[in-house]
Amino acid sequence: MTGTSDFEQYLLARRAAIDTALEAALPTPPTCPPRIAETTRYSVFAGGKRLRPILTLAAADAVVEAGHAAPVADGVTLAMPAACAIELIHTYSLVHDDLPSMDDDDLRRGRPTAHVVYGEGLAILSGDALLTQAFVVLAQPPPDAPPGFGRRQLRAITILAQAAGAAGMVGGQVLDLAATSNGGNGPGPDQLTVDATLRDIHERKTGALIRAAAVTGAILAGGNETAVDGVDRYAAHLGLAFQIVDDILDVEGSATDLGKTAGKDAATGKPTYPAVHGLDRSRVLAAEAVQAARAALADAGLGGRLTQIADWALTRSH
């Protein structure tokens, strides 16, 4: 097949819209010092798939298209602040994960990591700025917000804060550090209660933010509880599939394709699905997770781009 598929065109259009919104969402001088404006933009606009904010917008579309939401002019407009907030938090997490005291990586999204370019101090502060700016963005009402929209925002803020904090992404990184054999903070993977701990790490470190991305989109677009619950179950399975594929690509991919150092997980003794289950079984588990994601959508009467995103997560090469 030649040319660009409909789904690829969709991804390109959504990425462009998200990048435009992100540029407007980030602070600029004289609101902030020029150096922190430069540092945050370096990481945010280094590239990336924009999976999480696209998922936010796709969930908003899905609940509206399926008739599971109160009539709105544009669910995407209502969900775009959450999409931006999700990407800011995701980028903050990458900046901090790459630090020498964490995963100690010098390549991210095909470019030198923030601490390599700007030093550790500014990298840490840029991550802090991105995290806090996310909630500034999410708290602002979009144009023509419907009555009662503030309640949706408050719910979305709570969900996103929980996903990013000690119960979610931060907690997952703590478990990840403890489980890495050369991390100096705990037992290596041979001492783990392997399956349960591995899944717990992934559900917190990767899955929590993916679930929050989808659920906040459904909530802000006015989705009813059936739709929100269906999107949540879908995203839980999607997050697992996405991380398993990430683990596989770390083994099989190249730094050029991945935009980050390949083979780093094995080199540091990090517990991963291929390390625990082998590559073939990991592929089966990823496919099963995608099938479960699709089933959750079907049960809730949802589909559309969310189904395509699940299929893409399984077949992607980076």
| pLDDT, tens only, 39-71 | 999 999 998 899 999 999 999 999 998 888 766
What is the arithmetic mean of pLDDT over 209-232?
Answer: 96
Q: What is the pLDDT of residue 1?
A: 41
For residue 2, the model assigns a pLDDT of 47
Beta-carbon contacts of 31 under 8 Å, excluding residues fewer than 6 positions away, are: none
User: pLDDT class for 147, splitting at 50, 70, 90?
Assistant: confident
Q: Where are the domains of the chain?
A: 6-315
The arithmetic mean of pLDDT across residues 80-102, rounded, is 96
Please report, in angstroms and rounded to a whole number, the separation of the first and last CA atoms in the chain.
Answer: 20
Distance from C-alpha of 84 to C-alpha of 138, rounded to nearest angstrom: 8
Cα separation, 312 vs 208, in Å, equals: 19
**Architecture of domain 6-315 in CATH?**
Orthogonal Bundle (1.10)
Is-cis flag, bond preceding 30, omega within 30? yes
- pLDDT of residue 254 exceeding 90, the answer is no
- pTM, rounded to two decimals: 0.91
What is the Cα–Cα distance from 194 to 281, expressed in whole angstroms?
Answer: 15
Helices (H), 140-278: 149-164, 169-179, 194-202, 208-220, 225-252, 255-258, 264-267, 273-277
Give the pLDDT of residue 141.
82
Q: Residue 33: CB partners within 8 Å, gap ≥ 6?
A: none
Query: What are the C-alpha distances in Å from 194 to residues 28, 187, 200, 266?
Result: 46, 12, 10, 16
Q: How many CB atoms lie within 10 A of CB 1?
A: 4
Helix, strand or coil, per DSSP, at residue 270: coil
